[in-house]
Every structure is written in structure tokens, then in C-alpha cells.
Amino acid sequence: MAVRPILRMGHSLLRAVAKPVTEDQWAALPTLVEDMLDTMRAARGVGLAAPQIGVDWRVVVFGFERSERYPDAPPIPLTILVNPVWSFLGSEEEEGWEGCLSVPGLRGWVPRAVHLRYAGWGLDRVFFEREVEGFHARVVQHECDHLDGVLYPARVRDFSRFGFIEELFPDPDQRPESD
């Protein structure tokens, strides 16, 4: 078990395009993934990308039974995704609140594709593909954005809905999530 420090917005690795995991790097993946899961859970996040702990590989983890950060969100199966590919299904978008462990204390109102197909390799080296929608699709887009050096603030269009959570939601009961 190793909870690793999470890089914050401004660190150059969070702006870099991560590299595909190569054949000879697979042996190191179980340890990396374990650290990512430990770090994600310790921070009570719903997802984490390898660059957030300083590793420039195309690996993301996400999923939860019930999230304190997103109490109304439907569960997402715990997923480890190596070298993911993804595509939007249709042009429908919806907006929703997002936070990021690399942007602590802030929230933004972010448009995302509603319907998404994604695929990649699991830790068992089996390739799989899913079609998902809604919050599941949002989380995958958020995490995969990290692999291309994109943080959610770059997706915000309405900057009246981007800021510190205590300022956006003075009433704690109205907050969409808590840090």
C-alpha cells in the first residue's frame, strides 16, 4: 500500500501527453495500479490518472460503490484502463459539476458528451469495450483528458460556474460534492 502525493494544476506533467504503456512496462503495472487505487481511495476520489501521481503512462482507474464526493451518482464498476481509446456516440452533451484531486477546493460546470464508447486493456491484459452514458461517461472523459494533458478547467465555458466550492455554494447542504 502506498498513497502517493497528487500533483496539482500547474505541474508540467499534468499538461503533458502521456505515453502508451509498452510491452516491457507491463510488469510494473500492478504496483502502479495499486498505488493509484490507494491514492484515489485515500483522497476519496472517483478516479485517478497516472500523471496525477507523476507517472506519464496512459493508465486510469475509476469507479465506486457510493461516493461521498458525488452522493447522488449511480455506482460505476471499479475499472483499470490501460492505453484507452474512446469515441463519442452522437453529439448530445450535458453539463455537470466536476472537481479534480489535482485542482483541490474548486468546482466547475463542465459540458461532456452524454454517450461514450471506450475500450482498453485491464490489468489481466484482456481488451474490453463498453458503451456508457451520463456520469460514467463523464468520469471516463475526465480521466482520459488527464492522459492528454487536459484538466477540466480547460473545458469550462461558463466561468460564473467555476470557483471555490465555499464561494459557489455558501450553504453546505447545496454543495454537489465535498472535498
For the annotated catalytic residues, the residue numbers are 143
For Ni ion, give the closer residue by CB, 127 or 164.
Answer: 164
Of 18, 29, 76, 100, which lies in the binding site for Ni ion, with binding defined by CB under 5 A?
A: 100
Are 163 and 106 contacting, i.e. CB atoms less than 8 angstroms apart? yes
Convert 117-148 into a string of H (helix), E (strand) and C (coil): EEEEECCCCCEEEEEEEHHHHHHHHHHHHHHC
Query: CA nearest 95: which of 159, 156, 172, 46?
Result: 156
- Which positions ≥6 away from 22 have C-beta within 8 Å? none
CB of 124 to Ni ion, least distance (A): 25
For residues 21 and 16, give the distance between their C-alpha atoms in angstroms, rounded to a whole number. 15
- 37-56: which residues touch Ni ion (CB under 5 A)? none
For residues 117 and 167, give the distance between their C-alpha atoms in angstroms, rounded to a whole number. 35
For Ni ion, give the closer residue by CB, 45 or 120.
Answer: 45
CB of 143 to Ni ion, least distance (A): 7
For Ni ion, give the closer residue by CB, 23 or 108.
Answer: 108
CB of 18 to Ni ion, least distance (A): 13
For Ni ion, give the closer residue by CB, 21 or 100.
Answer: 100
With binding defined as CB under 5 A, does residue 139 bind Ni ion?
no
Contact stretch for Ni ion (CB under 5 A) within 29-37, 89-97, 98-106, 171-179: 98-106
Are 51 and 36 contacting, i.e. CB atoms less than 8 angstroms apart? no
CB of 100 to Ni ion, least distance (A): 3
φ, ψ of residue 177 to 5 degrees: the values are -165, 170
Binding site for Ni ion (CB under 5 A): 100
